[in-house]
Protein backbone atom coordinates (compact mmCIF):
# COMPACT_ATOMS: atom_id res chain seq x y z
CA UNK A 1 0.00 0.00 0.00
CA UNK A 2 2.91 2.31 0.76
CA UNK A 3 4.12 1.96 -2.84
CA UNK A 4 0.74 3.07 -4.14
CA UNK A 5 0.75 6.15 -1.91
CA UNK A 6 4.26 7.01 -3.09
CA UNK A 7 3.19 6.70 -6.73
CA UNK A 8 0.22 8.98 -6.09
CA UNK A 9 2.51 11.54 -4.47
CA UNK A 10 4.79 11.39 -7.53
CA UNK A 11 1.78 11.92 -9.79
CA UNK A 12 0.68 14.91 -7.67
CA UNK A 13 4.16 16.43 -7.95
CA UNK A 14 4.09 15.98 -11.72
CA UNK A 15 0.62 17.55 -11.90
CA UNK A 16 1.81 20.63 -10.00
CA UNK A 17 4.50 21.17 -12.62
CA UNK A 18 1.96 21.28 -15.48
CA UNK A 19 1.52 24.83 -16.75
CA UNK A 20 -1.72 24.44 -18.73
CA UNK A 21 -4.48 25.14 -16.18
CA UNK A 22 -7.11 23.00 -17.98
CA UNK A 23 -4.89 19.92 -17.89
CA UNK A 24 -3.73 20.73 -14.38
CA UNK A 25 -7.34 20.88 -13.12
CA UNK A 26 -8.27 17.64 -14.89
CA UNK A 27 -5.25 15.76 -13.57
CA UNK A 28 -5.81 17.15 -10.07
CA UNK A 29 -9.33 15.70 -10.10
CA UNK A 30 -8.00 12.36 -11.31
CA UNK A 31 -5.37 12.48 -8.58
CA UNK A 32 -8.06 13.12 -5.96
CA UNK A 33 -10.01 10.11 -7.21
CA UNK A 34 -6.88 7.97 -6.93
CA UNK A 35 -6.29 9.20 -3.38
CA UNK A 36 -9.87 8.39 -2.39
CA UNK A 37 -9.65 4.94 -3.99
CA UNK A 38 -6.38 4.16 -2.23
CA UNK A 39 -7.84 5.28 1.12
CA UNK A 40 -10.87 3.03 0.61
CA UNK A 41 -8.59 0.18 -0.44
CA UNK A 42 -6.60 0.58 2.76
CA UNK A 43 -9.84 0.45 4.79
CA UNK A 44 -10.88 -2.74 2.99
CA UNK A 45 -7.50 -4.34 3.68
CA UNK A 46 -7.71 -3.49 7.39
CA UNK A 47 -11.27 -4.87 7.62
CA UNK A 48 -10.29 -8.03 5.75
CA UNK A 49 -7.39 -8.64 8.13
CA UNK A 50 -9.76 -8.18 11.06
CA UNK A 51 -12.24 -10.63 9.52
CA UNK A 52 -9.49 -13.19 8.91
CA UNK A 53 -8.46 -12.91 12.55
CA UNK A 54 -12.06 -13.26 13.78
CA UNK A 55 -12.70 -16.28 11.52
CA UNK A 56 -9.57 -17.87 12.95
CA UNK A 57 -10.89 -17.34 16.48
CA UNK A 58 -14.29 -18.75 15.50
CA UNK A 59 -12.59 -21.80 14.01
CA UNK A 60 -10.62 -22.37 17.20
CA UNK A 61 -13.77 -21.95 19.32
CA UNK A 62 -15.67 -24.40 17.12
CA UNK A 63 -12.87 -26.94 17.41
CA UNK A 64 -12.93 -26.56 21.20
CA UNK A 65 -16.70 -27.06 21.26
CA UNK A 66 -16.46 -30.16 19.06
CA UNK A 67 -13.73 -31.59 21.26
CA UNK A 68 -15.78 -30.92 24.38
CA UNK A 69 -18.97 -32.40 22.94
CA UNK A 70 -17.48 -35.57 21.57
CA UNK A 71 -14.67 -36.34 24.02
CA UNK A 72 -16.85 -38.37 26.39
CA UNK A 73 -19.38 -39.80 23.93
CA UNK A 74 -18.56 -42.83 21.81
CA UNK A 75 -20.28 -43.71 18.57
CA UNK A 76 -22.07 -46.54 20.37
CA UNK A 77 -23.40 -44.04 22.92
CA UNK A 78 -24.63 -41.83 20.10
CA UNK A 79 -26.40 -44.77 18.47
CA UNK A 80 -28.05 -45.66 21.79
CA UNK A 81 -29.22 -42.07 22.22
CA UNK A 82 -30.60 -42.07 18.69
CA UNK A 83 -32.50 -45.32 19.35
CA UNK A 84 -34.15 -43.84 22.46
CA UNK A 85 -36.13 -41.31 20.41
CA UNK A 86 -38.90 -41.82 17.86
CA UNK A 87 -40.30 -39.41 15.34
CA UNK A 88 -43.97 -38.60 15.76
CA UNK A 89 -46.01 -36.31 13.53
CA UNK A 90 -48.42 -33.96 15.23
CA UNK A 91 -52.04 -34.81 14.44
CA UNK A 92 -52.98 -31.13 14.28
CA UNK A 93 -50.15 -29.35 12.45
CA UNK A 94 -48.33 -32.32 10.88
CA UNK A 95 -44.88 -31.21 12.02
CA UNK A 96 -42.43 -33.89 13.14
CA UNK A 97 -41.50 -34.21 16.81
CA UNK A 98 -38.80 -36.34 18.37
CA UNK A 99 -40.05 -37.90 21.58
CA UNK A 100 -38.37 -40.34 23.97
CA UNK A 101 -39.81 -43.83 23.67
CA UNK A 102 -40.37 -44.02 27.43
CA UNK A 103 -42.29 -40.73 27.49
CA UNK A 104 -44.42 -41.88 24.58
CA UNK A 105 -45.21 -45.19 26.30
CA UNK A 106 -45.94 -43.63 29.71
CA UNK A 107 -47.86 -40.53 28.63
CA UNK A 108 -50.57 -40.39 26.03
CA UNK A 109 -50.75 -36.62 26.24
CA UNK A 110 -47.63 -35.27 24.47
CA UNK A 111 -48.04 -31.52 23.72
CA UNK A 112 -46.83 -30.22 20.36
CA UNK A 113 -44.35 -27.34 20.80
CA UNK A 114 -45.47 -25.83 17.50
CA UNK A 115 -49.26 -25.67 17.87
CA UNK A 116 -49.67 -26.47 21.62
CA UNK A 117 -52.26 -29.16 20.89
CA UNK A 118 -52.08 -32.85 21.71
CA UNK A 119 -49.49 -34.30 19.31
CA UNK A 120 -50.41 -38.00 19.54
Contact 110, 91 (CB under 8 A): no
| pLDDT tens-digit map of 46-84 | 999 999 999 999 999 998 888 777 766 666 766 666 567
Which residues touch 35 (CB under 8 Å, ≥6 apart)?
A: 8
**Cα Rg of the chain, angstroms:** 33
- Confidence bin at 36 (pLDDT 50/70/90): very high
pTM: 0.45
Architecture of domain 74-120: Roll (2.30)
Amino acid sequence: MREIFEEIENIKATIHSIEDENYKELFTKISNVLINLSDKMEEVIVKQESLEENVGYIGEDLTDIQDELFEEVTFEDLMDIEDEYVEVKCKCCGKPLFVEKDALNKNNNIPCPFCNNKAN
